[in-house]
Amino acid sequence: MSEPIVALDGVTLAYRDRLALRNVHLVIAPGERIALIGPNGAGKSTLLSVLTGLLRPASGDVRLSGDPVADLDRLAVARRVAVVPGVTGLPFATRVEEVIALGRLPHEDPLRGPRPSDRAAVAAAIDRVGVGHLLGRDARELSLGERQLVLIAMAVAQATPVLILDEPTVHLDLRHQVGAMELLVDLNERDGTTIVAVLHDLALASHFFPRLVLLDRGRIIADGPPSDVLTPDRIRDVFGVDPGFVRLPA
Amino acid sequence: MTGSRVAIGRSRGIGDRPVLLVGLGLAALVVALIAGVGLGSVAVEPGDTVAILAHRLLGLDLARTWSDAAETIVMELRLPRVLTAMTVGCALAVAGATYQGLLRNPLADPYVLGTASGAALGAAIAVIIPVRFVVLEFGLLHGLAFVGALVSIYTVYRLSRVTGLAPLTSLLLTGYAVGSLLAAGLAMAMYLSGAALRQIFIYLLGSFDAATWSRLAGALPIVVLGCAAIMLRARSLNGLLLGEQAAVHLGIDVRRERAILLGLASLVTAAAVAISGLIGFVGLVVPHVVRLVVGPSARAVLPISAIGGAALLAYADLVARLLGEIPVGVVTAVLGAPFFLLILRRARTGYEL
Amino acid sequence: MSSRSRLVPSQIPFGLLARGMTVLAAAVLAIAACTAGSTPPASPASQVPTASIVSPTSAPPASPTAAPAFPTTVTDDEGTAVELEAEPQRIVSLTPAVTEILFALGAGPRVVATTDFDDYPPEAVELPDVASFTAVDIEQIVGLEADLVIAGGNFFNPPESIVRLRSLGVPVIVVYAPTLDAVLTDIRVIGTAVGLGDEAAEMADAMQAGFDDVAQASAALPSPRTFYELDATSAIYTAADGSFIEQMIELAGGDPITTGSPTDFAIPLERLIEADPELILLGDAAYGVTAEQVAERAGWDVMTAVRTGEIRPVNDLIVTRPGPRLVEGLRELALAIHPDLVLPSAEPIPAMP
């Protein structure tokens, strides 16, 4: 049994005056592809922050490949875990390829800058994500969806064993949503990248992810294949909607 | 899909040829040096200028065809002045680029966090208190301007940590508040200064009139070491391009790097304003022009800005001198204001902090 | 798979640049060390001019047994001991009053430069300008090989420039005359410095006699409350307590109204109205201010001087300039205060053409 690449054990985190995470236990093996689902405020983003070491839990253990994340500096974490950031503004005119190249920062030589291997990784990322047609343009002038793809490419360029995405399809049209999902599958199955994605779209989640983790009010309610997790009762109880609204694959 | 050669977008022209760019920049500096040393209100034969430089700098033993006055003018007045202008220009440009990257704000300059007001108030206090103090040609004015600049940025930094706002917003707003307070203090000091008002005013406008070798020797190490230290941290500045969250996930210790870069940029700014007064627009405009050519990566922007700032200020000082000793701050403003308007036009709306 | 694909931001050969900067900085510091250590070129004061300079046109010194006047040391008004190795032949004046004194003593032919706001005597206006209100052109002064510079204290000329000139080996005497006695002292000091000590003593004595004449003549007469207007375009400016103008008015037979503070030259209108001047002297008459204008000012009509029409213009230049025409100024002032005053005939101040 190999070391889990991500392991949260008994993690509890207080945020302001409530408990954002309660006794969370989550083990992810290398090469897995999992989706975090749950209603707003369930604690999905908080869980990701704990995973990357941004937030320190009040109690519990967080490990990356067996190493406590609290002992790792930012650079070490960045070499193991890449996070696709949300779309933000850029203060200066920045080309698409320059944004993508930022993904290599954790690997670059601090003095000399990008190496040929870094350049190759960027080229590969552009290829994989399929943003070659955007190169040379000012990233500030792209549509939200295009920017989101560029940021995904940046995280891909970071070439880490673990890739984390927090609602990466928010601004994408259906075609690109599916394209992004297929990309994640490709990265996972061909490169063995462990993928952890927070998704709101239950159909996408259950179609493309073999393992779903359902959170509600800081607790993991269910953890397993989509058919086990997304039962009609669960949908009604946790999401508060008629299960008929959710179209699940057969 | 993988392995195919991907065509990358338009090239940036000279921006993609870094060695050529650096070479051009250095050439511009050399021309500025020669022009600065050769031209002035007193006409010195070019042949004499070269001979003096060769004799004093390279130690060549030449027949003395020039007058003592010419030698004094070239070696004691013009040469330190040109080199001081370059030093200050380099400091301001690098500091400006750093502040713009740190604050993620294209309108930032080295003075935006109260440094200018602090230095000016320090200088004004030095002028009005009846104490004469000179160490190695550094008078009370230089010392208090330097201290004032650093104290104000430190105050801004500490106060900004206590507000409930996001770090960048907090820095900018606190900087504005503290700067306004210090400016009020400055106004009061100017009101109380009586006959010394003109001295304070000359400081505010900035000039290289008083450049000496000793002052240069004092400020140069700070500027060179500070700028070099900043350039070593180019990676951190690049990481901040997408914001604090993204920077953290790219491996940047944002809190630490922000403090260090802020400190270094303020240090070189303080050294610059201490010896030259408040010269504006260089720190704001040079990084922008450089980015137009080489892109936003700090690895390119910082060194090229250093060269560009040095050259710009050397030329500006030459123009100021030849136009009858008008304050160099006026020349940079005349050059910089149109650029500033251009930057505003190109600024994007919908930009978030 | 081409190595020419440019995917990442331009990469400056940073290491090379950092090393280059350090080497350059070290070189500059080395130069600074060498030049700071070396003595400045031989002081221009000790140069023997190749062509003889026309000697002063004043009456030849009477005493044949006079000890050689140079080398000598003169103490200026700031207490600085200024060493003069030989009689200065290339003198620079940085205040209009000093220019007048130099020309009156007969040193005019040896003056090589003045300020751009000198207006008397006419020959002085023709001379090259090396100073303005805000700046002193040090390069030109050095270029002219000046062997003596006489500057104005109390921030009349920027103190920084005085320090700079001295550091370059140029002797600078600073004069500042807040009282009539001080003016005479300055004349003596300047006279000694230029080798015309006897002429200066004569001139000072004659001026003192002239002052005494006026004081005596007006002593018996009643002293009207006199307001001397320096400027009234924004605030009202007049004599400060213990100032030069106050002295002049008292000596001329008036009772001067002052601002109430030794450092502030502005007087609030209320205080002026309360002081109720019996006579208003327009020192700003040269700028177009007339008695009619004064009478029309709001609130001024309550003053005795306005009601009785006792508003007279005076030539501010000769009244306030601490130079050789002061006796003339005092006489004019005395006559402005008491138009019927009878003064003994004016003795010509020696050495004035």
Residues in chain B: 353
Q: Which pLDDT does position A103 carry in this prediction?
A: 95
Q: Which pLDDT does position A18 carry in this prediction?
A: 85
Partners for A (CB, 8 Å, 3+ pairs)?
Answer: B, C
R_g of chain B computed on alpha carbons: 21
Q: Which pLDDT does position C44 carry in this prediction?
A: 38
Are A116 and C6 within 8 A, CB to CB? Answer: no
Q: Which pLDDT does position C26 carry in this prediction?
A: 58
Q: pLDDT digits over C209-218, tens only?
A: 999 999 999 8
Measured CA distances, B193 to A3, A123, B125, C135, C239 (Å): 73, 64, 9, 19, 18
Q: Please give the Cα distance from A105 to A99 (Å, whole number).
A: 11
Cα angle C141, C145, C150; round to 5: 55
In the chain, the amino acid numbered C181 is D
SS3 of B130, please?
Answer: coil
Q: Please give the Cα distance from C92 to C140 (Å, whole number).
A: 11
C52, pLDDT greater than 50: no
What does the DSSP 8-state code read for residue C59?
Answer: P
C65, pLDDT greater than 80: no
Are B25 and B308 within 8 A, CB to CB? Answer: yes
Using a CB–CB cutoff of 8 Å, tell me whether A54 touches chain B: yes
What is the dihedral angle through the alpha carbons of B288, B294, B295, B299, rounded to the nearest 10 degrees?
-100
pLDDT tier at A250, thresholds 50, 70, 90? low
| Widest CA span in chain A | 58
Question: Cis omega before residue C222 (within 30°)?
Answer: no
pTM to 2 decimals?
Answer: 0.83
Chain-chain contact of B67 with C160 (C-beta, under 8 angstroms): no
Are A180 and A203 within 8 A, CB to CB? Answer: no
CATH code at C221-337 = 3.40.50.1980
Are B59 and B341 within 8 A, CB to CB? Answer: no
Contacts 24+ apart (CB under 8 A), B173-177: B174/B113, B175/B112, B175/B113, B175/B114
| Count of CB atoms situated within 10 Å of the CB of C40 | 15
Show the tokens assigned to C350. Answer: 């020696």
Q: Please give the Cα distance from C206 to C348 (Å, whole number).
A: 8
Chain-chain contact of A89 with B352 (C-beta, under 8 angstroms): yes
Using a CB–CB cutoff of 8 Å, tell me whether A162 touches chain B: no
Q: Which pLDDT does position B3 carry in this prediction?
A: 33
Do the bridges between strand A67-68 and strand A59-64 make them parallel or antiparallel, or are there none, so unpaired?
antiparallel
Using a CB–CB cutoff of 8 Å, tell me whether C9 touches chain A: yes
Upper half-sphere CA count for residue A91 (Cβ side, 13 Å): 27
Q: What residues have CB less than 8 Å from A153, skipping those under 6 apart?
A: A100, A103, A125, A126, A128, A129, A131
Are A108 and B235 within 8 A, CB to CB? Answer: yes
Interface of C with A in 93-122 (CB under 8 A): none
The β-bridge partners of C267 are: C236
C59, pLDDT greater than 50: no
Distance from CA of C154 to the nearest CA of A (A): 50
Q: Which pLDDT does position C3 carry in this prediction?
A: 36
Q: Please give the Cα distance from B270 to B115 (Å, whole number).
A: 7
Topology adopted by domain A1-65+161-250: Rossmann fold (3.40.50)
Cα angle C112, C116, C118; round to 5: 80
Q: pLDDT digits over C167-182, tens only?
A: 899 999 999 998 889 9
Q: Please give the Cα distance from A51 to A45 (Å, whole number).
A: 10
Considering only CA atoms, which of B37, B58, B61, B41 is closest in space to residue B49?
B37
Show the tokens assigned to B314. Answer: 């050397």
Q: Return the H-helix or E-strand segment holding C150.
A: strand C148-152
Q: Closest residue of A to C1, CA-based? A: A120
Chain-chain contact of A94 with B6 (C-beta, under 8 angstroms): no
Q: Which pLDDT does position C186 carry in this prediction?
A: 95
SS3 of B261, please?
Answer: helix
Q: Please give the Cα distance from A50 to A47 (Å, whole number).
A: 5
Chain-chain contact of C8 with A111 (C-beta, under 8 angstroms): no
A201 phi, psi to nearest 5 deg: -80, 105
Mutate to test the interface with C, among B41, B66, B207 (most CBs of C within 10 A): B41
Pick the CATH number of C72-195 from 3.30.70.100, 3.20.20.100, 3.40.50.1470, 3.40.50.1980: 3.40.50.1980
Q: What residues have CB less than 8 Å from B158, skipping those under 6 apart?
A: none
pLDDT tier at C39, thresholds 50, 70, 90? very low
Using a CB–CB cutoff of 8 Å, tell me whether C208 touches chain B: no
Q: Return the H-helix or E-strand segment holding B168.
A: helix B167-192
Q: Give C309: exposed, middle or buried? Use CB within 10 Å, 0-12, 13-18, 19+.
A: exposed
Q: Please give the Cα distance from B273 to B275 (Å, whole number).
A: 5
- Burial code (b: 16+ CB inside 10 Å, e: under 16) for A215-247 equals bbbbebbbbeebeebbeeebbeebbeeeeeeee
pLDDT tier at C53, thresholds 50, 70, 90? very low
Mutate to test the interface with C, among B53, B132, B212, B214 (most CBs of C within 10 A): B212
Q: Please give the Cα distance from C58 to C349 (Å, whole number).
A: 12
C46, pLDDT greater than 50: no
**In CATH terms, are C72-195 and C221-337 the same topology?**
yes
| Count of CB atoms situated within 10 Å of the CB of C305 | 23
- Beta strand segments in A148-226, E: 162-166, 194-198, 211-216, 219-224
Domain spans of chain A, in order of start: 1-65+161-250, 86-160
Q: Which pLDDT does position C349 carry in this prediction?
A: 62
In the chain, the amino acid numbered B200 is I
Averaged pLDDT, A85-114? 90
Interface of C with B in 251-280 (CB under 8 A): 263-264
Mutate to test the interface with A, among B241, B255, B256, B345 (most CBs of A within 10 A): B241
What does the DSSP 8-state code read for residue A144?
Answer: H
C124 phi, psi to nearest 5 deg: -70, -35
Chain-chain contact of B40 with C139 (C-beta, under 8 angstroms): yes
Show the tokens assigned to C306. Answer: 């306005």
Averaged pLDDT, A168-195? 90
Q: Please give the Cα distance from A209 to A124 (Å, whole number).
A: 24
What does the DSSP 8-state code read for residue A210?
Answer: S
Q: Please give the Cα distance from A215 to C108 (Å, whole number).
A: 98
Q: Which pLDDT does position B2 carry in this prediction?
A: 35
Of B234, B297, B353, the CB nearest to A98: B297
SS3 of C94, please?
Answer: coil
Q: Which pLDDT does position B138 carry in this prediction?
A: 73
Q: What residues have CB less than 8 Å from A250, skipping those under 6 apart?
A: none
B278 phi, psi to nearest 5 deg: -95, 105
Do the bridges between strand A67-68 and strand C255-256 make them parallel or antiparallel, or are there none, so unpaired?
unpaired
- Residue where the block lists tokens 């070499």: A79
Q: pLDDT digits over C126-153, tens only?
A: 999 999 887 899 999 999 999 999 999 8
| Count of CB atoms situated within 10 Å of the CB of C231 | 16
Q: Please give the Cα distance from A172 to B191 (Å, whole number).
A: 61
Q: What mean pLDDT value characterizes chain C?
A: 81
SS3 of C238, please?
Answer: coil
**What domains can you pick out in chain B, each with its CATH number?**
84-344 (1.10.3470.10)
Q: What residues have CB less than 8 Å from C156, skipping those under 6 apart?
A: C94, C95, C176
Q: Which pLDDT does position A245 carry in this prediction?
A: 79
* Chain B residue numbers touching A168 (CB-CB < 8 A): none
SS3 readout for chain B = CCCCCCCCCCCCHHHHCHHHHHHHHHHHHHHHHHHHHHCCCCCCCHHHHHHHHHHHHHCCCCCCCCCHHHHHHHHHHHHHHHHHHHHHHHHHHHHHHHHHHHHCCCCCCCCCCCHHHHHHHHHHHHHHCCCCCEECCEEHHHHHHHHHHHHHHHHHHHHHHHCCCCHHHHHHHHHHHHHHHHHHHHHHHHHHCHHHHHHHHHHHHCCCCCCCHHHHHHHHHHHHHHHHHHHHCHHHHHHHHHCHHHHHHCCCCHHHHHHHHHHHHHHHHHHHHHHHCCCCCHHHHHHHHHHHHHCCCHHHHHHHHHHHHHHHHHHHHHHHHHCCCCCHHHHHHHHHHHHHHHHHHHCCCCCCC
Q: Please give the Cα distance from C149 to C131 (Å, whole number).
A: 12
Question: Cis omega before residue A210 (within 30°)?
Answer: no
Rounded average pLDDT per 10-residue block, chain B, 353 residues: 38 71 91 89 82 83 82 89 96 97 91 90 85 70 89 92 86 91 91 79 83 90 96 94 93 94 94 91 92 90 96 94 84 86 65 35
Percentage of chain A beyond pLDDT 70 is 98
pLDDT tier at A220, thresholds 50, 70, 90? very high
Q: Please give the Cα distance from B36 to B74 (Å, whole number).
A: 10
Q: Please give the Cα distance from B91 to B282 (Å, whole number).
A: 10
Q: Please give the Cα distance from A96 to C167 (Å, whole number).
A: 57
| Widest CA span in chain B | 77
Q: Which pLDDT does position A198 carry in this prediction?
A: 95
C242, pLDDT greater than 50: yes
